[in-house]
Amino acid sequence: MKSKKVEEMVELFESAKKAADMANAKGVLLGKQEANRCVDALSLLMRLTITPKPKEPRRIMERLEGLTKHKGRKICSAASALLHLWRERNREQARKEFSTKTFPNNSHKESSKTRGN
C-alpha cells in the first residue's frame, strides 16, 4: 500500500513539473493555465500524508527545489510551501526516531520517578 502512495506522489509531482515546464516555455501570460495545473498538483501533494524520505526519492526534493526558482510566482510560492512542509515532516520524523532510539523507555522512567516521590 505504501508503494502505491509513493507512486501517486511521483505521478503528481511529474505532472506538476511537466505543467511548470510548459508554463515556462509559453511565458507568464500565455502559460497561466499550465501554471494553475502545476499549482493544483502541488496543492494535492501537500494533502498527501506521505513525504519523500531523505534517502528515498531524493530527486523529487531536488527537482522541487528547482521549482522554487520558477519564473511564475504562484508556482514558486506553491513549490516553496510544499518543500517547507516536507522538510518539516522529515525533521519531525527524525526527531521521533531519535528520541525512540535514544530514550526507548523514557515514558516509563518518568512515571516511575513521579511515583517514587
Q: Give the tens place of pLDDT for each residue, 47-101.
A: 988 777 655 667 888 899 999 999 999 999 999 999 999 899 888 988 888 888 7
**Of 107 and 17, more confident:** 17
Task: Grade residue 35 by pLDDT with cuts at 50, 70 and 90.
Answer: very high
pLDDT averaged over the chain? 84
Note the pLDDT of residue 5.
Answer: 83
Using the predicted structure, report yes or no on whether residue 114 has a pLDDT greater than 60.
no
On the question of pLDDT at 2 being above 70, the answer is no
**Total tally of structural domains belonging to the chain:** 1
Range of the domain at 14: 2-116
pLDDT at 28 over 90: no
pLDDT at 60: 87
Alpha helices by DSSP H, listed for the chain, are 2-26, 32-47, 58-67, 73-102, 106-116
Instruction: Look at phi and psi of residue 19 and say left if phi exceeds 0, alpha if psi is from -120 to 50, else beta.
Output: alpha
Q: 106: pLDDT confidence band, cut at 50, 70 and 90?
A: low
Q: Which residue has the cell 523507555?
A: 105
| Residue 112: predicted pLDDT | 47
Please count the other Cβ atoms lying within 10 Å of the Cβ belonging to residue 70: 20
